[in-house]
């Protein structure tokens, strides 16, 4: 199973490494998808746009296609987990009467998807070694 997953990761890296346009598509596409997910899933004003801009700048500075793909995955995960934590903090600061368990349960889709993407990004970065 590991060899097959590494082979798939290698094919994805090879596909992106074939041209600079494909790498640029990752640099633009991943932040766009994160922006779209956060914009549709949370009411945060201009925060998703700033988050996508920072993620795009972060991806642009990666040297290799593998690092760009890994950074896109764990960067998206950090962004989604950050949105979940922001939702919890905003509820607490607003004086909510909900219990901490209810707050975490409400933010769990953001937190769980963020943690899963972070783990995938870390694995993806190490898959080429």
Residue with tokens 């919890």: 88
DSSP label at residue 129 = -
Nearest partner of 129 among 60, 76, 66, judged by Cα:
66
Averaged pLDDT for residues 3-14: 84
In whole angstroms, what is the distance from residue 3 CA to residue 65 CA? 20
Given a contact cutoff of 8 angstroms between Cβ atoms, the answer to whether 97 and 42 are in contact is no
What's the predicted TM-score (pTM) here? 0.87
What's the pLDDT score for residue 1? 59
Give the model confidence (pLDDT) of 39-75 as tens digits: 998 888 898 999 999 999 999 999 999 999 999 999 9
What's the pLDDT score for residue 103? 87
DSSP label at residue 120 = H
Given a contact cutoff of 8 angstroms between Cβ atoms, the answer to whether 75 and 121 are in contact is yes
Give the model confidence (pLDDT) of 67-98 as tens digits: 999 999 999 999 999 999 998 888 888 888 88
Integer angstrom CA distances of residue 104 from 38, 65, 70, 77:
17, 35, 27, 17
């Amino acid at each position: 199973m590991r060899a097959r997953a590494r082979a798939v990761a290698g094919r994805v890296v090879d596909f992106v490494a074939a041209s600079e346009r494909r790498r640029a598509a990752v640099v633009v596409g991943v932040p766009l998808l994160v922006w779209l997910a956060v914009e549709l899933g949370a009411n945060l004003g201009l925060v998703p746009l700033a988050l996508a801009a920072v993620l795009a700048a972060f991806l642009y500075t990666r040297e290799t296609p593998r690092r760009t793909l890994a950074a896109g995955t764990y960067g998206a995960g950090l962004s989604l987990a950050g949105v979940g934590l922001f939702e919890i903090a905003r509820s607490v600061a607003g004086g909510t009467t909900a219990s901490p368990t209810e707050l975490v349960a409400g933010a769990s889709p953001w937190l769980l998807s963020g943690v899963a993407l972070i783990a995938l990004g870390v694995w993806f970065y190490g898959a080429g070694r």
